[in-house]
Structure 1
Amino acid sequence: MDISSPVGPPHPTVGTNTAALREATVALEATFLNEMLKAARFGEPRSAFGGGEGEAQFSSFLRQEHARALAENGGIGLAESIFNVMKDRIND
């Protein structure tokens, strides 16, 4: 029996950790922006157009996609700031 092989999954490389951290910080910024857009009532149906119940149901999806697109394209810089602080911690 060979007991020299390590038990458990292999440790992820630094590049994998960095990519995962980048993805997580962008997702966090997208969530933050989504909440900010919701507070600003972005994407809510306007009474002048009368989009009906369907528009009201899907406005949250529109807002979520806008927030995701904003975050993936730089957003307000929150993801970049958090990434820069956290990347040193994963490299230790």
Structure 2
Amino acid sequence: MLRPPPAARPSDQPTPQMKQAAQEFEAAILSELLKAAGAGQSRTEFGGGEGEEQFASLLLDAQAKQIAAAGGIGFAEMALRGLMAQRGPEQGAT
């Protein structure tokens, strides 16, 4: 006899804080990936000088946050699954 799947318990759902943490984690990873790819590096000719160098990391961080907020590339989902796996059923949704 087939039984219907159990209804989702509140503890099966991620909290808004967990979603926020996962998105911030993805943004941090994306920022480092953008830096490693050379985004935000000063140009040798006609560059912005010292000001450009000072604010390039802020621009990369903002771009990474926008990418993560738009759905990202999957790191937030993996982090969220990890957080959900660590949370015990006795903790429930808060």
Separation (CA, whole Å) in 2 of partners of 1:87 and 1:40: 31
| Matched pairs, number | 78
The structure whose RCO (Cα within 8 Å, separation 6+) is larger is 2
In angstroms, what is the RMSD of aligned CA positions? Answer: 1.9
Separation (CA, whole Å) in 1 of partners of 2:34 and 2:62: 11
Q: Which runs of 4+ in 1 moved over 4 A?
A: none
Q: Which runs of 5+ in 1 are unaligned?
A: 1-12
Using structure 2 for the length normalisation, give the TM-score: 0.72
Q: 1:18·1:87 contact (CA, 8 Å) conserved in 2? A: no
Separation (CA, whole Å) in 2 of partners of 1:37 and 1:29: 12
Identity %: 40
> What secondary structure, in the 3-state scheme, does the structure 1 residue paired with 2:17 have?
helix
Matched, 1:67 2:69: no
Question: Cα deviation per residue 1:8-29 (whole Å; 9 max; x = unaligned)?
Answer: xxxxx96xx6100000000001
> What secondary structure, in the 3-state scheme, does the structure 2 residue paired with 1:41 have?
coil
Q: Which has the higher helix share?
A: 1
Using structure 1 for the length normalisation, give the TM-score: 0.73
Q: Which runs of 5+ in 2 are unaligned?
A: 1-9, 90-94
- Where do 1:1-92 residues align within 5 Å? 18-90=15-87, 92=89
